């Protein structure tokens, strides 16, 4: 019961954090883009990469968020070449396009009710009817979209409550499908392309049936500009009575499972976070941390010196020179895909 309450609160946190990442997305690159081309020789016009935006948080060794940095404090490198930062801001709030990925495989059967309660609470505390949209996907042997994009919380609640467990586990295939749905998310009513794409996964991280690999998934998430938050449902814990130190006043994780490590990798690669909840106190501490993070987000925008659209992955590293003790949390880079082409003008004037 205590662990269920903890995760219920945790989902509210993730929704809050989701409102501030990956803003001002200038383009919608396909997950499987066509062959790269750096220019259109027949037209004599070179295609260049649009502005690249990086959202990040900065924490010290005590995991306290650093909130008072200025543009001049940062150094940004793309493929080890320093770039000029053109845009800098804090505290961003974009419309969310949320994917909720719910494990309904046999391995999760004992914890399915826990998932349902957590998911319902997440919807109630996260979805802003006038701004956000969310879809729900379940996965066992195959991924299934059980509720397409909607801003109706009641429909989402009913859909979640109707789910049952059964079958194998195809997590990677489900994530590939979710990435595709997020990259093709409904636009904002005012026509702005600026949305934040977030994928929330509740699972033990196991996979025994997917046709796609973990590398495929990370590649697809990177191309889609999706930030991933993961909630582990692993129940491998050790109590104070079982530990070698009975003076411990709280339970702790005995060790991360292979599935836990997978979930952690997805979050790390996309600039998200992983959670392994157990006690209510842990969740309250997490709430405080994420609340601070919401007030501590930075946006760095730059136009790459290497502007050619060769389709390759560009590694991006952000530093705060002279402060090696600080940790930067951000995505690892981007794919150099051309922005949408501008409409051509007819020579006949029609």
User: In sequence order, which residues have a C-beta less than 8 Å from that of residue 292 and are 6 or more positions away?
Assistant: 64, 65, 67
- pLDDT value at residue 178: 97
Do the Cβ atoms of 188 and 195 come closer than 8 Å?
yes
Do the Cβ atoms of 85 and 54 come closer than 8 Å?
no
Question: Helix-strand-coil percent breakdown of the chain, rounded to 5?
Answer: 30, 25, 45
- What count of other Cβ atoms lies within 10 Å of the Cβ of residue 58? 24
CA separation (Å) from 195 to 110, 235, 309?
36, 35, 23
Q: Which two tokens stand for residue 108?
A: 């999760």
What is the DSSP track for 136-178? EEEESSSEEEEEEEE--HHHHHHHHHT----S---HHHHHHHH
- What count of other Cβ atoms lies within 10 Å of the Cβ of residue 340? 10
Q: What are the pLDDT tens digits along the chain (350 aa)?
A: 444 444 444 444 444 444 333 334 434 444 444 333 333 333 333 456 678 988 888 889 988 888 889 999 999 999 999 999 999 987 667 788 889 998 888 877 777 776 777 777 777 777 888 888 999 999 988 899 999 999 999 999 999 999 988 878 899 999 999 999 999 999 988 766 677 788 988 888 989 889 999 999 999 998 888 888 888 877 665 454 555 555 554 445 567 889 999 999 999 998 888 878 765 455 445 434 544 564 567 889 999 999 888 889 999 999 999 999 999 988 899 989 865 544 333 333 33
Q: Which two tokens stand for residue 205?
A: 């991280």
- pLDDT value at residue 22: 38
Residue 115, SS3 per DSSP: helix
pTM, two decimal places = 0.75
- pLDDT value at residue 191: 65
- pLDDT value at residue 246: 52
What is the crossing angle of helices 112-126 and 2-18, to 10°? 40
CA distance 289 to 70: 21
Residue 107 backbone zone (phi > 0: left; psi -120 to 50: alpha; other: beta): alpha
Q: Which two tokens stand for residue 117?
A: 């309660």
Do the Cβ atoms of 143 and 109 come closer than 8 Å?
no
- Give the count of alpha carbons within 13 A of 270, CB side only: 33
Beta-sheet pairing, 96-103 with 133-139 = parallel
- pLDDT value at residue 285: 52
CA distance 194 to 181: 16
CA distance 268 to 329: 8
CA distance 18 to 201: 13
Please state which of the four CATH numbers 3.40.50.410, 3.40.50.720, 2.160.10.10, 3.30.70.20 is assigned to the domain occupying 93-293: 3.40.50.410
- pLDDT value at residue 306: 93
Q: Which two tokens stand for residue 133?
A: 């949209």
CA separation (Å) from 54 to 18, 248, 299?
14, 40, 6
């Amino acid at each position: 019961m205590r662990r269920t309450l903890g995760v219920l609160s945790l989902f509210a946190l993730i929704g809050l954090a989701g409102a501030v990442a990956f803003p001002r997305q200038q383009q919608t690159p396909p997950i499987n883009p066509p062959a790269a081309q750096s220019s259109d020789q027949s037209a004599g016009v070179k295609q260049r990469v649009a502005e690249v935006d990086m959202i990040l948080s900065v924490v010290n060794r005590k995991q306290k968020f650093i909130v008072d940095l200025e543009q001049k404090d940062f150094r940004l490198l793309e493929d080890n070449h320093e770039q000029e930062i053109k845009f800098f801001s804090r505290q961003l709030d974009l419309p969310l396009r949320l994917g909720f990925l719910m494990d309904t495989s046999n391995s999760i059967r004992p914890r399915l009710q826990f998932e349902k309660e957590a998911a319902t609470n997440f919807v109630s505390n996260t979805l802003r009817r006038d701004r956000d949209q969310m879809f729900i996907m379940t996965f066992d042997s195959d991924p299934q979209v059980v509720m397409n994009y909607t801003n109706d919380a009641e429909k989402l609640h009913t859909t979640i409550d109707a789910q049952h467990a059964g079958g194998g586990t195809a997590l990677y295939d489900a994530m590939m499908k979710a990435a595709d749905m997020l990259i093709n998310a409904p636009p904002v009513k005012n026509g702005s392309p600026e949305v934040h794409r977030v994928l929330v996964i509740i699972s033990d991280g196991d996979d025994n049936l997917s046709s796609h690999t973990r590398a495929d998934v990370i590649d697809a998430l990177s191309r889609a500009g999706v930030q991933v938050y993961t909630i582990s449902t692993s129940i491998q814990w050790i109590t104070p009575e079982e530990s070698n130190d009975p003076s411990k006043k709280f339970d702790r994780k005995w060790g991360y499972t292979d599935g836990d490590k997978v979930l952690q990798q997805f979050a790390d690669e996309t600039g998200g976070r992983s959670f392994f909840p157990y006690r209510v106190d842990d969740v309250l501490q997490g709430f405080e941390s994420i609340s601070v993070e919401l007030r501590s987000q930075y946006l760095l925008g730059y136009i790459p010196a290497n502007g050619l659209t060769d389709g390759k992955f560009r590694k991006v590293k952000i530093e705060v020179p002279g402060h090696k003790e600080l940790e930067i949390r951000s995505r690892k880079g981007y794919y150099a895909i051309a922005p949408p082409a501008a409409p051509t003008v007819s020579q006949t004037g029609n």
